[in-house]
Amino acid sequence: MPEEGDRPALWVSDEPVPDAGRHWLRLYDLRHETGLYPLLLEGLASDLARPWHDGELWPGSVAAIDALEAEDVLAKAWHSVTQGAEHGPLSGPWPGLAPPGEADEDADAVARRQAARSGSALLGLVPAERGADALTAVGWDGPCNHAGTDDVSAVVRTWEDRFGARVTSVGFDTLRLSVAAPPATIEHARRVAVEHHALCPDNIWQGVGDFEQYAEFLVGADTWWFWWD
């Protein structure tokens, strides 16, 4: 159990919990009373111990997230991943943040529906007010080959605000968000895909391999999934 200061940064189940999604729902509904944000936790491939039981966690502070501006984080990352590209959608200057989406459903309801589909998983509780902050508070280091966790938290905060995103599941180097207000048009989805590419280029480079196809996937998608190599 890693600690930040004099308090634990994570409580985690010893073993995978059958029907973990159902338990997540109960803990999620109690989060404002307990001050603990629940996470469905996955390990590295078949090794559930990493990083949650092996201590590969470096708890951070919410103050580190507060010191960041999400647009500055994305602009810097965009410059890094597009450096040298002269043509196409993954080139040119940073275009700015995408406009917010319009939600047809409450963000918490979408999160509950997504989590309810989960089967067996480790269950974790993190002292944090929101899912974005839980990533840094617990010391997750999944994106370390590309970004700092506090950078990811800063961006996820603005996705929570603009797209009704909620953190549901975290793996060794993966992150899953429910999304209540995804882009409804391909034009909007391209703007969102720019942000995804800046923060997690492996989703395209080692995923679908095509920016336009990735943007098409985002239209109306109530789940965003990220993987860092």
Mind listing the pLDDT tens digit for each residue in 74-84? Answer: 999 999 999 87
Confidence of residue 3 (pLDDT cuts 50, 70, 90): low
Provide the number of structural domains found in the chain: 1
Residue 90 has pLDDT above 90, yes or no: no
What mean pLDDT, rounded, does the chain reach?
94
Give per-residue pLDDT as tens, 146-185: 999 999 999 999 999 999 999 999 999 999 999 999 999 9
Judge whether residue 4 has pLDDT over 90.
no
Query: Does 2 score more than 70 pLDDT?
Result: no
Alpha carbon separation from 16 to 23, 113, 188 (Å, rounded): 12, 20, 38
Residue 109 has pLDDT above 80, yes or no: yes
Identify the domain containing residue 69 by its residue range.
3-227
31-38 average pLDDT score: 97
Identify which has the larger pLDDT, 207 or 173: 173
Asked if pLDDT for residue 13 goes beyond 60, the answer is: yes
User: Cα separation of 108 and 86, whole Å?
Assistant: 41
Instruction: Report pLDDT for 136.
Output: 98
- Percentage of residues in the chain having pLDDT higher than 70: 97
Query: What SS3 state is found at 110?
Result: helix
H helix intervals, 38-185: 62-66, 70-82, 107-116, 131-138, 149-163
| Average of per-residue pLDDT across 106-122 | 94
* pLDDT level of residue 47 (50, 70, 90 thresholds): confident
Q: What pLDDT is attached to residue 100?
A: 98
For residue 189, pLDDT over 60 is answered with: yes
Query: How would residue 87 be classed by pLDDT, with cut points 50, 70 and 90?
Result: low
pLDDT, residue 86, reads: 64
Q: Environment class of residue 44 by beta-carbon count within 10 Å: exposed (0-12), middle (13-18) or buried (19+)?
A: middle
pLDDT at 204: 93
Mean pLDDT of 29-40: 97
- Mean pLDDT for 68-72 is 98
